[in-house]
A and B are shown apart, each in its own frame.
Chain A
Amino acid sequence: DAGVIQSPRHEVTEMGQEVTLRCKPISGHDYLFWYRQTMMRGLELLIYFNNNVPIDDSGMPEDRFSAKMPNASFSTLKIQPSEPRDSAVYFCASSFRRVGAYEQYFGPGTRLTVT
């Protein structure tokens, strides 16, 4: 299996521009998660989907952030407009639910720099 695939791996953009991060989960997984990692705040859950439906978006920082999952094999996280404080590594993870165990498989991340 190829694992969780994220693109791009690196993104540098100017403040005010729109940024779209992409994720392809592991085939057969029915949960998809978006996380943000910074030195100051560590790894934070932004939003997660179950069967393509958003379940909990309480971690989304503000209205500038939006996430979609149009089908089981693709999800996007969009920031519009971007700000320097959005600079972080964004991870996508996928999972399938089993009784007593919830293994999340993380992608390699997208390092976002907003100047």
Chain B
Amino acid sequence: TQLLEQSPQFLSIQEGENLTVYCNSSSVFSSLQWYRQEPGEGPVLLVTVVTGGEVKKLKRLTFQFGDARKDSSLHITAAQPGDTGLYLCAGWRGAGGTSYGKLTFGQGTILTVHP
């Protein structure tokens, strides 16, 4: 059973289109992160959202954390070929006080943006 379900698994679009990737769970997370991974490299952190309902923008990328802190979305406006990659959501549980907590990753969404 996957704790974090990402959808869609694959997304192939044309340059200039908009897209949304979803990350859903039945569990509550203290915070949620989105990473981007390119072939042959490790994941790179894009954003951390902490508060339910929080919205963060990073240029053409908009990240939202659900009110109940169980889900999140990543929206890309006017996608470019350089956005191509694997997008991973990851949720933190149990973090606080002296506990580092545990980070659980979703399966990822492979995005391909064609010129």
What are some 15 contacts across the A-B interface (CB < 8 A)?
A: A4-B42, A42-B105, A43-B43, A43-B105, A45-B102, A91-B43, A102-B100, A102-B103, A103-B45, A103-B48, A104-B103, A105-B45, A106-B41, A108-B40, A109-B41
Question: Which of A31, A45, A107 lies in contact with B42, CB distance below 8 A?
Answer: A107
Chain B positions within 8 Å of A4 at CB level: 42
Report the nearest B residue to A42, measured CB to CB: B107
- Show the binding face of B for A, using Cβ within 8 Å: 2, 31, 40-45, 48, 50, 88, 92, 95, 100-108
Interface positions, chain A 67-93, Cβ under 8 Å from B, are 91, 93
The residues of A that contact B48 with a CB separation of less than 8 Å are: 101-103
B106 cross-chain contacts in A, Cβ below 8 A = 42
- Contacting pair B41 A108 (CB below 8 A): yes
Are A45 and B103 in contact, with the CB atoms below 8 A?
Answer: yes
Q: A97 touching B41 by the CB < 8 A rule?
A: no
Give the A-B contact count at a CB cut-off of 8 A: 50
Is A100 close to B, CB under 8 A? yes
Please tell me if A66 contacts chain B, counting CB pairs below 8 Å.
Answer: no
Q: Is A113 an interface residue (CB 8 A)?
A: no
Q: Which 3 A-B pairs have the closest CB atoms?
A: A106-B42, A43-B105, A42-B107
The distance from the CB of B70 to the nearest CB of chain A, in whole angstroms, is 19
CB-based contact B42/A102 at 8 Å = no
Residues from chain A with Cβ under 8 Å of B50 in the complex:
100
Contact assessment for B105 and A31 in the assembled complex, using a CB-CB cutoff below 8 Å: no
Contacts A55-B100, A56-B102, A102-B100 given; does A42 touch B108 at CB 8 Å: yes
- CB neighbours (8 Å) of B31 from chain A are 100, 102
In this assembly, does A13 line the interface, its C-beta being within 8 Å of a C-beta of chain B? no
Complex formed: what's the CA distance from A43 to B103 in Å? 10
Find chain A residues with CB under 8 A from B88 CB: 42-43
